């Protein structure tokens, strides 16, 4: 009987050990589960804080982008306005040259002579304005030359033309060696 009671004691003791092992495993599993849940909640909280910290940066970038777009639009508009002004100036110059020939359309010989004194496109001389004094038979030319030599060659050509006289360039027009603005006075002999 003693053996039986020792046996029962050991059996009870083993059952208690088995139940404590089961409890330990259960406790270990619950601990790991709770630890995982806490870590996930902590990471979620960090992600939310990180995303919230990006909101001011997003608004700052949007503000900068809008500012850059506004400045770009201003520059584009200024370039368009400048191009329009240049185009208007060129149209006005061409209109002035066309208007020069309108009142004298009856005298086609004079018209041909005036057209003949205009330089060719590749000569380096550009006539930007021309006016005619009918009473004195004077022609006033205004223009630009790429170099002093091209201007002097153009003037020499005008001096050799028998239809015109007094083709002289003022010395003040020859002060620069390149990109010269010039004014010429000619007298029409016919």
Residues in Cβ contact with 134 at an 8 Å cutoff, skipping those fewer than 6 apart: 104
8 lies in which domain range? 1-102
pTM passes above 0.95:
no
DSSP symbols for 72-139:
HHHHHHHHHHHHHHHHHHHHHHHHHHHHHHSTTTT-HHHHHHHHHTSPPTTSSEEEEEEEEETTTTEE
Task: Assess whether 59 and 121 both reside in one domain.
Answer: no
Q: What pLDDT does residue 36 have?
A: 92
The total domain count for the chain is 2
Residue 182: count other Cβ atoms within 10 Å of its Cβ: 21
- Give per-residue pLDDT as tens, 57-102: 889 889 988 888 888 888 777 777 777 778 778 777 777 766 666 6
- Is pLDDT at 105 greater than 70 in this prediction? no
End position of a domain, from candidates 102, 124, 150 = 102
Burial class (CB in 10 A: 0-12, 13-18, 19+), 117: buried
- How far apart, in whole angstroms, are the C-alpha atoms of residue 143 and residue 183? 7
Residues 15 and 93 in one domain: yes
pLDDT of 2 higher than 70:
no
Output the 3-class SS for 122-157. Answer: CCCEEEEEEEEECCCCEEEEEEEEEEHHHHHHHHHH
Decide: 72 and 62 in contact? Cβ < 8 Å.
Answer: no
Instruction: Mark whether 87 and 7 lie in a shared domain.
Output: yes
- As a whole number of Å, the end-to-end CA separation of the chain is 160
Tens-digit pLDDT profile for residues 11-26: 677 776 667 767 778 8
Last residue of a domain, one of 87, 102, 117: 102
Higher pLDDT residue, 36 or 124? 36
Interval 143-181: pLDDT, tens: 888 888 888 888 888 888 888 888 787 777 777 888 888
In terms of pLDDT, which residue wins out, 105 or 62?
62
Q: Do 117 and 32 lie in a common domain? A: no
Domain boundary at 102, 129, 145, which?
102
Is there a single domain that holds both residue 5 and residue 97? yes
Between the CA of residue 11 and those of 2, 21, 108, 147, what are the distances in Å? 14, 15, 138, 121
> Model confidence over 138-149: pLDDT tens digits?
888 888 888 888
The CATH number covering residue 133 comes to 3.30.1360.100
């Amino acid at each position: 009987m003693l053996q039986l009671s020792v046996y029962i004691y050991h059996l009870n003791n083993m059952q208690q050990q088995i139940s404590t092992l089961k409890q330990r495993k259960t406790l270990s599993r619950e601990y790991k589960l709770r630890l995982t849940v806490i870590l996930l909640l902590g990471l979620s909280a960090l992600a939310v804080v990180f995303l919230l910290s990006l909101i001011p940066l997003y608004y700052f970038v949007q503000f900068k982008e809008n500012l850059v777009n506004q400045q770009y639009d201003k520059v584009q508009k200024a370039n368009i306005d400048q191009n329009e002004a240049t185009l208007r100036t060129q149209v006005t110059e061409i209109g002035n040259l066309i208007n020069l020939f309108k009142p004298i359309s009856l005298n086609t010989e004079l018209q041909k002579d005036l057209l003949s004194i205009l330089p060719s496109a590749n000569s380096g001389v550009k006539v930007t304005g021309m006016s005619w004094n009918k009473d004195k038979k004077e022609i006033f030319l205004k223009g630009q030359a790429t170099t002093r030599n091209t201007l002097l060659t153009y003037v020499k050509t005008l001096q050799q033309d028998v239809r015109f006289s007094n083709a002289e360039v003022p010395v003040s027009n020859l002060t620069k060696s390149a990109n010269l603005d010039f004014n010429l006075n000619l007298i029409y002999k016919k």
